[in-house]
Amino acid sequence: MSAPHQEAAPLFPNDVELRGALEKAGLRFTRQRAAVYQFLAGATAHPTAEDVFAAVRQQLPKISLATVYKALDALVESALVTKITHLDGPCRYDCLGGAHYHFHCLNTGRIFDLPTAYDPDLLQKLDPQLVETLRRRGFQVTGYRLELLGVAFPET
């Protein structure tokens, strides 16, 4: 299986690029923000803010949950991280850039990236009339998200 996002290099920005992206959004580069980003870049199941807090605390014992939330907001604002919201659970954070698909474990709420290429024409294949039908009803389609639902085996 090939993961399309692994072909693009470099996958995640280094500290200099991270600083550039934050400053471009009018935000400061801080050690806390760098630590939060670093953890997200190595995480596989799209952690919650609490997960990030628990992990980053090992490295920065004085960091607060509020600071973690602010760091996550700054990273989302800088377009380095995407916030995934769910009605039935806490927000999760994704630092894999580019459009991609997810698998959502209904037992644990964890979210995994799918090792399949994103298809920009999937809506067209699903229903060639859909986008035009929606436009006539007053909806402009700007993109789509696909999330498979199921159960991840415990060792995943």
The residues of the shown chain that bind Zn ion, judged by CB under 5 A, are 94, 96, 113
Nearer to Zn ion, 27 or 96 (CB): 96
In the complex, least distance from residue 92 CB atom to Zn ion, rounded to whole angstroms: 9
In the complex, least distance from residue 99 CB atom to Zn ion, rounded to whole angstroms: 10
In the complex, least distance from residue 71 CB atom to Zn ion, rounded to whole angstroms: 19
Cβ-proximal residue to Zn ion, closest one: 94
Contacts 24+ apart (CB under 8 A), 92-99: 92/46, 92/47, 92/48, 93/40, 93/46, 93/47, 93/48, 93/49, 93/52, 94/40, 94/46, 95/12, 95/37, 95/40, 95/41, 95/43, 96/5, 97/5, 98/5, 98/8, 99/143
Nearer to Zn ion, 83 or 135 (CB): 83
